[in-house]
Amino acid sequence: MLFKVEMDVNVPIDFDKDKFEELKAAEKARFQELQKAGTWRHIWRVVGQYSNVSIFDVRDNSQLHDIMMSLPLYPFMDVRVTALCRHPSSLHDDDR
Ligand SMILES: O=C(O)CC1=CCC(=O)O1
């Protein structure tokens, strides 16, 4: 199942900088693990914002939920999830 996930990262101005760098490194490692597995298919930065738009390919809603809960930066995120399905005109067989 495919989902568009929009993540806005909001870090309190007085949050410990070293701790935040640790969380960012952990987030990057988790992202790259999921990207290699094909689960986190795409990510784009939203220009001018500490936000991204991502496409996830997961088994079901529960798997996406568990992944989101596992993200090190999750406590700082506002997240919007949109379920996607294949467009009938798509040339890509894996759009489902
Ligand atoms: O930088 C972000 O938008 C948050 C994030 C998601 C994956 C990653 O490496 O950083």
The answer to whether ipTM exceeds 0.90 is yes
Spans of the chain, pLDDT less than 50: none
Q: What is the pLDDT of residue 29?
A: 98
pLDDT at 95: 79
From the CB of 77, is ligand 1 less than 6 Å away? no
Please give the pLDDT value at position 52: 98
Q: Kindly state if the Cβ of 8 falls inside 6 Å of ligand 1.
A: no
CATH superfamily of 2-84: Dimeric alpha+beta barrel (3.30.70.1060)
The residue extents of the domains of the chain are 2-84
> Is 31 a pocket residue for ligand 1 (Cβ < 6 Å)?
yes
Distance 86 CA to ligand 1 centre (A): 26
Q: What is the pLDDT of residue 93?
A: 83
pLDDT attached to residue 21: 97
| Conformation bin of residue 81: beta by default, left when phi > 0, alpha when psi is -120 to 50 | beta
Residue 4 CB neighbour total at 10 angstroms: 14
Q: How far is the CA of 15 from the centre of ligand 1 (A)?
A: 17
End-to-end alpha carbon distance in the chain: 6
Instruction: Give the predicted TM-score (pTM) of the model.
Output: 0.94
